């Protein structure tokens, strides 16, 4: 019985890992398609946006 329980736990772990990898790959595929469609944001723009947000948060304190 002990071996069966270990096997079941291992199987469940493998299934969760597979589901997570599948989920993650779908997210990557969607993101790549979005960039191909021109919906991406340049790195420098992201840096500027978050620098402004950080300054805004600092000024609240």
34 and 40 in contact (C-beta within 8 Å)? Answer: yes
**Structural domain of residue 21, as residue ranges?**
2-60
Please give the pLDDT value at position 12.
84
Comparison of pLDDT for 61 and 45, the residue scoring more? 45
Tens-digit pLDDT profile for residues 7-57 = 666 778 888 999 999 999 999 999 999 999 999 999 999 999 999 999 999
Asked whether residue 6 carries a pLDDT value surpassing 70, the answer given is no
pTM of the predicted model as reported, rounded to 2 decimal places:
0.56
CA separation, residue 54 to residues 15, 21, 44, 57, 60 (Å): 40, 33, 15, 5, 10
Domain count, the chain: 1
DSSP state of 51: H
């Amino acid at each position: 019985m002990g071996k069966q329980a270990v096997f079941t736990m291992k199987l469940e772990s493998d299934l969760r890992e597979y589901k997570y990898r599948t989920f993650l790959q779908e997210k990557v595929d969607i993101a790549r398609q979005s960039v191909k469609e021109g919906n991406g944001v340049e790195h420098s723009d992201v840096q500027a946006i978050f620098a402004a947000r950080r300054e805004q948060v600092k000024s609240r304190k």
